[in-house]
Amino acid sequence: DAGITQSPRHKVTETGTPVTLRCHQTENHRYMYWYRQDPGHGLRLIHYSYGVKDTDKGEVSDGYSVSRSKTEDFLLTLESATSSQTSVYFCAISVWAGGTDTQYFGPGTRLTVL
């Protein structure tokens, strides 16, 4: 599982409330990513990080912010959750090993916004 954990694994919240999802890795990999998965859309990149305090936007970043104050943690925040943000959120890391750069995914967080 490449040492990736996500918390919480499930969350139900109400429209307009703030929500923070956490991704934690144990192996000090530099690159971390947040994707969302929705039926009929595959996985889409929200934000990514290339180091502590270094982040950038992905394809579907509106309504989301991220922070990375430590190498091991990458936080995704929904400042004011909306029903359209109901989704499964996956964190991923890039692992550079043996001349290959490969992405591995965390177990996911299922978020429901009522």
Token pair belonging to 70: 């430590």
Of 28, 42, 53, 62, the one binding other proteins by CB under 8 A: 42
Of 8, 16, 18, 107, the one binding other proteins by CB under 8 A: 107
Shorter beta-carbon distance to other proteins: residue 45 or 52: 45
Residue in the block written with tokens 């043996």: 98
- What is the rounded CA–CA span in Å between residue 109 and residue 50? 22
Of 20, 24, 44, 72, the one binding other proteins by CB under 8 A: 44
CB-count burial class (<10 Å; 0-12, 13-18, 19+) for 39? exposed
Q: How far is the CB of 73 from other proteins (least distance, A)?
A: 17
3-state secondary structure of 84: helix
Shorter beta-carbon distance to other proteins: residue 3 or 31: 31
